Structures are given as C-alpha cells and as structure tokens.
Amino acid sequence: MKTTITYANAQALLAKYIKGTAMRNHSQGTAIAMRAIACSLGQDEEHWDIVGLLHDLDMEVIGTDLSQHGVRTVEILRKEGYDIPDLFTPVIAHTEVLACSPYRRETTLDYILSGVENLVGLIAAYVAMRQPTRTIIGAEAKSVVKKMKDKSFANNVNREAISDAIERSGMERADFIQVVIDALSEHAKEIGM
C-alpha cells in the first residue's frame, strides 16, 4: 500500500472517477481554496490541496445515496492502493454536515474542508447569477457575505459549516472569504468561474 500521494496522482484519480464538469470544477475549486487557506494558516499546502481535490471522489459512484459519502471515497483510494489516514480522516469527517452521517469533525482540517467546500458552492452560485459578467473576477467578500445571509439563496449550502470553518481558522470572516475569492479568481477559467 502507498502511504503518500502526489498531486499528479490525485489529479489522475479525479480524472478517472469524476467525469462531470460541474463536479470536477467543484473539486478543483475546493482544492484551490484549501491550498490558499493552508497558506494563510501556515499549514501543509499540498496536503490540504489534495484533500480538497479528492474529498468528493465518490460522488459519481454513490449517486443520491449520501449515507455512503466519504466512506466510498476511502474505499476507492484503498482499491487504488493507498493507505493514508491523514487523507482519509478529513474526507470522512467532512460529511458530518449531512443529516445521514454518523461521522464528526475533530481537527481544524476537518472543519475547514467542510466549510470551504460549502463556501466554494456558495461562490459558484453567486458567480452564476452575477450580471453581466458571470465571473468571479472582481468579486468582493462583502457581496458573498450578503448572499450568505440570504437563506433562500443557494439554500443547499451549509452556512453553519462555513461559519465553523471560519471560526476554527481564527481569521476574520471577510478575510477568510476574500482569500478564497482571490484564489479562485486566479484559476477562474479552468474551474468555470
């Protein structure tokens, strides 16, 4: 069993298991945002990036059965020859915010992964309605915060997970969100934003 994974290996796995553009963009966006937050917090940027990239690797396998989410990703990774507990744990723990999940977030990485993936979803919805540009370029944290407060906007986004992540980071809300916006803006074309 392999106890490490390179970014290139993670990208190959994403390409193998995630065929849909929207899910691939979400995974890549989450990875980009995770790397940026890791940099801001002095954490292992490549590890956080890979965790973000692979966190939803099972979504096209499980379909609508979210009770298997996270666990199936670990099964996929084990089948591919990996045994990396510090990757597996946050991937499973990030599912705590699902009503059907028995797993719990414990580490800062667990909380931030859960919050960042939801924040990326909120930002993607915001970008999709942004007129006339429909791009993240030039977006500001205050606009995203306003949409975050509007519970009817992107109502499938777990705002509590975002708040938990920001709290665990120790960053100000606007700063945390702006770090994510800036990181996504640098890669806007490749992730469809």
Q: List the CATH number of the domain containing 126.
A: 1.10.3210
Task: Output the CA torsion sign for 111, 46, 123, 144.
Answer: positive
Quick check: is 121 in a domain?
yes
Quick check: is 157 in a domain?
yes
pLDDT more than 70, % of the chain? 100
Contact 27, 53 (CB under 8 A): yes
For residue 131, pLDDT over 80 is answered with: no
Phi/psi of residue 82, nearest 5 degrees: -105, 145
Quick check: is 156 in a domain?
yes
Quick check: is 2 in a domain?
no
Report residue 100's pLDDT band, with 50, 70 and 90 as the boundaries: confident
Q: How far is CA 109 from CA 48, 57, 114, 137, 144, in A?
A: 8, 18, 9, 27, 22
Quick check: is 1 in a domain?
no
Q: What are the pLDDT digits (tens) for 59-93?
A: 999 998 999 999 999 999 999 999 999 999 999 99
User: Which residues are CB-contacts of 158 (< 8 A; sequence separation ≥ 6)?
Assistant: 97, 114, 118
Quick check: is 120 in a domain?
yes
Report residue 133's pLDDT band, with 50, 70 and 90 as the boundaries: confident
Separation CA 173–CA 146 (nearest Å): 12
For residue 149, the enclosing domain spans: 7-186
> pTM for the whole thing?
0.96
Quick check: is 192 in a domain?
no
How many domains is the chain built from?
1
Quick check: is 26 in a domain?
yes
